[in-house]
Structure 1
Amino acid sequence: MIETTSAHPRPVLPLPATLETLPRRVLVTGGAGFIGSALVWALNQQGVDRIVVADRLGQDEKWRNLVPLRFEDYLEADDLFARLGSGALGDFDLVLHLGACSATTELDATYLARNNFEFTKHLAHWALAHGARFVYASSAATYGDGAHGMDDTDNAPAALTRLRPLNAYGYSKHLFDQYAAQAGILRQLVGLKYFNVYGPNEAHKGEMRSLVHKAFGQILETGSVRLFRSHRPDYRDGEQQRDFLYVKDAVAMTLYLAMAPAAGGLYNIGSGHAHSWLELTGALFAALGRDPRIEFIDIPESIRAKYQYHTKAAIAKLRAAGYGAPVTPLADAVKDYVQNYLTGDRRLGD
């Protein structure tokens, strides 16, 4: 067993839900990453530590996310299929597939297709063949600008074909959603369309970090936060909206669906509320005990045409599946993140 004991115990928000049924043994791909490591932490909170983590640690510091966590084994993702095929890793009853390139700015579509689509397809078929529950990360980026809605209830191939992702990352995720639907296996899987998830363990993500993480550094350095001004007359500066979801809620939703036998297909994972950037930064300044200071800057020309002004997850399907826990209010979640993690540069489990 790989385990590290925390030297800094402190109160944290409880998980919004306690699982009635627990997995016996779990494979978590992308388990050193943001949501992946948070899932390992959440499983540990439930007493589950028979976990194998697969990832590519590379040269950033996401290895730090693993330090406080309990799991049986770690392997590099490039070795995963060989070891699964040989039987060296043993049996799993749950596969949580979070491993992917999640950079919306990645331009190498071939790399994304191989890493995000082909890898997922191979692993899904392995899980189905070996009787393991397969839960994978899709993305709200599959919805594109939302012109065709952000509804997760119609998983038919024809409905998915109407969606128009705006970047190669979103398309690579959309490819597998479509494949699974057309192959008739989507109902046997759980695909999760994560909206704007933020929280501890995202420090390694570079430009893909949430605004909360970026703005925290800006405030400490300059005392102010830079936000994109609006380039549309129907939105004032800073009033563009997103569905922000705290990572602790995201993993609670994920694990609930993973252990709900009747759940299948695609699910939106979001708060069900749209908050403005001004509301988010206001909560951040409040958590730091400072008065808001905001500077507006132009949206770069390179992304202006693809910029989303409003996202909100429809989560009726999640609720219908039986997930009844309230979503952590924005101000409470930001406060927990800032005071218990960003201040002191701590990870989940520290």
Structure 2
Amino acid sequence: MILITGGSGFIGSYLQAEIHARGGETVIVDWLGHEGKWRNLQRHAPSRVISPENLDAFLASDPDIKAVFHMGAISETTATDGDLVWQTNVTLSQKLWSWCAEKDISFIYASSAATYGAASTRSEFSDSLSNVDNLRPLNLYGWSKHVFDQWVVKQLQDGKKTPKQWAGLKFFNVYGPNEYHKGKMISVVKVKYDDILKGGPAKLFKSDTSAVADGQQARDFIWVGDVANVMLWLYENPHVSGLFNCGTGIARTYLDLAYAVCDSLGVSRAVEFIDMPAQLRGNYQNFTCADMRKIRDAGYEKEFTSLEDGINIYINKFLKGPMYI
């Protein structure tokens, strides 16, 4: 049995679908809430759904868990409740790490590219453990993920017992189905799709710096199916442990993305540039690009889906169809 925290969320439910398709049994730790998150599980129900407040009792019952995928987190980059973010993103992660170490099972967790802060060149996006203390996240969310990464490094340095296998994945800009409950944190792909369906042009933020032209802000956009492939490859290769970037290794501009959405919908490439919200100015990552050499060196060989192909799959297989995986 596999435990997935945040298993009714975006990445967690996609992973749940893939495990279910392979005949695996899962237990999800999450709140289904009132935003329709249950629909993320409607095609592949888990054996159990456990609310986070009941997790301690479940773990104390000594369940037969083979691995923990820890995807649950407060992931809003604009989050401001420091106490809640700490308890959710740091304390819970430490608790699960320690439980997996005690039980000698695999622990695969979600870190974030937000830990890289204002990094602006490819060389600065290094997932080397020796680089962790050099990072300066720009927001509370990124900092909380960074703190846990630092804690993991300290466990290793101090020779503390670790899970049988551990892997932290620094997710870059993930997009795909089952993200519809995320509100303002939904992917840019879905937002541009909605812009166009409303009859208008795709809207992009103007640049907040003279060094970057409007629309030329660039991110490493990764299809959620590729993220699931990386996680399942790690699970199937328990000898591999470490902190790894999880992107494509290619930075693409927001203009590239908007054009790809237009092309997939068969409409003209119309784009409108709008002012960046005040709260984002000066705290906006104008460039992200994963250095993927470390996980490649570890043996991961699958190719990553191009931005155009991923957007085409998302729109034509999901947004125009059943919506959910």
Are 2:181 and 1:204 aligned? yes
5+ residue gaps, structure 2, are none
Task: Please say if residues 141 and 166 of structure 1, whose CA atoms lie closer than 8 Å, have aligned partners that are also in contact.
Answer: yes
Q: Which whole-Å deviations, capped at 9, do the CAs of 1:263-318 have from their partners, x for residues lacking one?
A: 11210000100000011111111111111111101112211101111100000011
Q: Is the 8 A contact 1:190 1:258 kept in 2?
A: no
- 2:16 aligns with 40
Match of 1:172 among 132, 136, 144: 144
| Contact 2:116–2:136 (CA under 8 A) maintained in structure 1 | yes
1:330 counterpart = 2:303: no
Q: Which amino acid aligns with 1:256?
A: W
**Which secondary structure does the structure 2 equivalent of 1:197 belong to?**
strand
**Contact persistence 1:93–1:131 (CA under 8 A):** no
Gaps of 5+ in 1: 1-24
- Displacement after TM superposition at 1:30 (Å): 0.4
TM-score (norm 1): 0.88
Pairing partner for 1:75 from 24, 34, 50: 50
Aligned partners of 2:292, 2:54: CA distance in 1, in Å? 36
CA displacement, residues 121-150 of structure 1 (integer Å, 9 cap, x when unaligned): 001111111121000001011111116811
Match for 1:130: what amino acid?
K
Q: Secondary structure at the match of 2:23?
A: coil
Counterpart secondary structure, 2:198 = helix
CA distance in 1, matches of 2:119, 2:236: 30
Q: Does 1:162 align with 2:134?
A: yes
**Aligned residue among 23, 26, 33 for 1:58:** 33
> Which residue of 2 is the match for residue 4 of structure 1?
none
Percent of pairs with identical residues: 40
Distance (Å, rounded) in 1 between the aligned partners of 2:55 and 2:285: 36
> Deviation digits for residues 187-233 of structure 1, max 9, x if unmatched?
85200100000000100000000011111111111331110111322
* AA matched with 1:165: P
Aligned partner of 2:2 in structure 1 is 26
Task: State how 1:135-146 maps to structure 2 within 5 Å.
Answer: 135-146=108-119
Question: What CA distance in whole angstroms lies between the structure 2 residues aligned with 1:204 and 1:261?
Answer: 32
Report the CA distance shift for 1:345/1:212 in structure 2 as closer, same or farther (over 3 A).
farther
Query: Which residue does 1:224 correspond to in 2?
Result: 201
Provide TM-score, normalisation by structure 2.
0.94
The answer as to whether partners of 1:242 and 1:310 remain within 8 angstroms in 2 is yes
Distance 2:200 2:136 in 1: 39
1:107 paired residue number = 80
Displacement of 1:345: 5.3
Q: 1:276 aligns with which of 224, 237, 253?
A: 253
Q: Would the aligned equivalents of 1:30 and 1:97 in 2 still touch at CA under 8 Å? A: yes
Aligned to 1:21: none
Cα contact 1:32–1:57 (8 A) shared by 2: yes
Q: Distance in 2 between matches of 1:256 and 1:39?
A: 12
Aligned-residue CA RMSD (Å): 1.5
Task: Output the CA distance in 1 between the equivalents of 2:287 and 2:177.
Answer: 24
Q: Note if 1:318 corresponds to 2:291.
A: no
Choose from 67, 73, 91 the match for 1:118.
91
1:248 to 214, 222, 225: 225
The one-letter amino acid paired with 2:47 is E
| Corresponding position: 1:94 with 2:67 | yes
Letter of the 1:63 partner, please give it: W
Structure 1 window deviating more from structure 2 (56-65 vs 98-107): it is: 56-65
Q: Provide the rounded CA distance (Å) in 2 between the counterparts of 1:149 and 1:219.
A: 35
Distance 2:257 2:153 in 1: 36
User: What is residue 127 of structure 2 aligned with on the other side?
Assistant: 152
- Structure 1 residues 91-148: Cα deviation after superposition (integer angstroms, max 9, x where no partner): 1111100011101110011110001100010011111111210000010111111168
Structure 1 partner of 2:107: 134
Q: Deviations over 1:133-182 (max 9, x none)?
A: 000001011111116811012x14xx322110100001111111111111
1:233 aligns with 2:206: no
Deviates more, 1:123-132 or 1:244-253: 123-132
Residue range with higher mean Cα deviation, 33-42 or 76-85: 76-85
Alpha-carbon deviation of 1:68? 0.7
- Whole-angstrom CA distance in 1 between matches of 2:33 and 2:224: 23
Measured in 2, the distance between the counterparts of 1:125 and 1:259 equals 22
Query: Hey, what's the Cα distance between the residues in 1 that align with 2:56 and 2:125?
Result: 34
